[in-house]
Amino acid sequence: MTTNEFGRHKFIRPETFKLSASYFKAIDNCLNLHYTSHTSPPSVDQILNSSSNLLSRKVTFQSLLNILALYPASYIISENHKVNDKSSFSITLPFEINHFNRSITRRNQEYVESVNSWIANNPEAQVLPICNDFLNCSKALIENNNSSDSSSKSGSPSKISKPSKSSLVDKHNLKNTTEKFKFKPKDEAIELSKSGLTLLERIKLKEKKNKELAKVDNSDIRYSNYLDGKLHPVYDILYQTYWSGSRGRRTKTKDVDDQETEKKVGVASLPLVKFVDIIRDSLSYPISEGEVEDIVVRLEETLGASKVHIITRGGITVVKVNNLDRCCDLQKIDKTT
């Protein structure tokens, strides 16, 4: 297994961890872009919206809580005290912003390592963990950084001391001098721009840097959008298959327009291989087996494991379906695509 690969989990599919990793990278990119022109931490809502636009896919607060649980050293979440900002929380990094650029690759590797550690220690978990106590976790991370910095200073009294790495993230120090927050790119040409480049050249270099930071894997985005476009037809086929099954009982309910509709209550299971064949036979266009599996995984992430759940036991993968409600389910699908 390479440093960028996730380990195998008993219940949670690799695609789920890869999707969470894409959220982490998008949030990092948006934070990096924010600090190229700002000195104060952005709100969580702002970064989540920017990340959603970057991925063309909704990145929710729960997605952030998943990341904080899988990689506790990822971000500092603090209460937002800005007068003109209605957001409840702000987000920043557990180190000085001028170290961000050189830390991106290392952070990606640490994220994979932290996730793999969680996989090894939680083999029976059914879903990704959520960090509900994120404010106290952030405070503990700040205190740990303060303690580490104090130990390092006391051990080297003859060395010139550097600013505390946690000074940026302490909520009492957020309004420090702008020098501490100043973005310092690692590119030597930009580092020397003040002495050798014109204003226009510096602007062009900054624009180029911003474009590089905004780049994500276009093929992944196209494939993600492709899967989103297939959620409706695949759900319809899954719903029809569930409806026609022998298990479960039918009951009447009312939809959002107060119209009485029927829904089926009960559990049905179908081998994934058989369901793939049904999908491929039902659609009028070609679709691969892997694409069908990825779409079912996307449905599980969207609707929740209580409704659609993929289970692998004894080498056999089964799609477990429970209590589908077409009206409510399609509303959830529309909100995430």
Per-residue pLDDT tens digits for 120-140:
999 999 999 998 888 777 676
Q: Is residue 162 located within the same domain as residue 240? A: no
Assess whether pLDDT exceeds 70 at residue 147: no
Query: What confidence tier does 253 reach under pLDDT thresholds 50, 70, 90?
Result: very low
Least confident residue range of 34-43, 86-95, 143-152, 156-165: 156-165
Query: What confidence tier does 280 reach under pLDDT thresholds 50, 70, 90?
Result: confident
Write the CATH number for 302. Answer: 1.10.10.1420
In-domain check, residue 258: yes
Neighbour tally for 133: CB within 10 Å: 12
In-domain check, residue 51: yes
The two tokens of residue 274 are 């058989």
Assess whether pLDDT exceeds 60 at residue 296: yes
pLDDT of residue 268: 81
Query: What confidence tier does 70 reach under pLDDT thresholds 50, 70, 90?
Result: very high
Q: Is residue 19 located within the same domain as residue 164? A: yes
Query: What confidence tier does 203 reach under pLDDT thresholds 50, 70, 90?
Result: confident
Chain position carrying tokens 């291989």: 273
Chain position carrying tokens 């702008």: 178
Give me the chain's average pLDDT, please: 76
What is the per-residue pLDDT across 24-60, written as a single tens digit (0 to 9) for each?
Answer: 999 999 998 888 888 889 999 999 999 988 888 889 9
C-alpha–C-alpha distance, residues 28 and 50, integer Å: 11
What is the per-residue pLDDT across 262-273, written as a single tens digit (0 to 9) for each?
Answer: 454 567 888 888
In-domain check, residue 213: no
In-domain check, residue 198: no
pLDDT of residue 166: 46
In-domain check, residue 196: no
* Amino acid identity at 85: D
Query: What confidence tier does 153 reach under pLDDT thresholds 50, 70, 90?
Result: very low
Nearest to 328 by CA among 259, 229, 241, 276: 259
Q: Is residue 162 located within the same domain as residue 256? A: no
Enumerate the H helices of 161-288 as residue ranges: 178-181, 188-191, 193-196, 199-214, 218-244, 272-282
Which is more confident, 225 or 164? 225
Q: Is residue 102 located within the same domain as residue 157? A: yes
Query: What confidence tier does 221 reach under pLDDT thresholds 50, 70, 90?
Result: confident
3-state secondary structure of 94: coil
* Amino acid identity at 190: I
Which of 126, 159, 184 is the C-terminal boundary of a domain? 184
Assess whether pLDDT exceeds 80 at residue 195: no
Which is more confident, 58 or 336? 58
Q: What is the total count of domains within the chain?
A: 2
Q: Is residue 254 located within the same domain as residue 140? A: no
pLDDT of residue 156: 47
pLDDT of residue 99: 75
Give the pLDDT mean for 226-250: 76
Q: Is residue 177 located within the same domain as residue 226? A: no
In-domain check, residue 6: no
Neighbour tally for 187: CB within 10 Å: 13
pLDDT of residue 285: 82
**Residue range of the domain that includes 180:** 14-184
Q: Is residue 240 located within the same domain as residue 136? A: no
3-state secondary structure of 89: strand
pLDDT of residue 105: 86
In-domain check, residue 122: yes
Q: Is residue 178 located within the same domain as residue 70? A: yes
Enumerate the H helices of the chain as residue ranges: 14-34, 44-55, 61-70, 100-121, 134-155, 178-181, 188-191, 193-196, 199-214, 218-244, 272-282, 289-303, 326-336
Q: Is residue 42 located within the same domain as residue 157? A: yes
In-domain check, residue 199: no
**Chain-centre distance for alpha carbon 259:** 37
pLDDT of residue 158: 44
Which of 167, 184, 201 is the C-terminal boundary of a domain? 184
Which is more confident, 145 or 171? 145
Q: Is residue 173 located within the same domain as residue 223? A: no
Query: What confidence tier does 110 reach under pLDDT thresholds 50, 70, 90?
Result: very high
Which of 184, 209, 231 is the C-terminal boundary of a domain? 184
Q: Is residue 32 located within the same domain as residue 176? A: yes
Q: Is residue 157 located within the same domain as residue 245? A: no
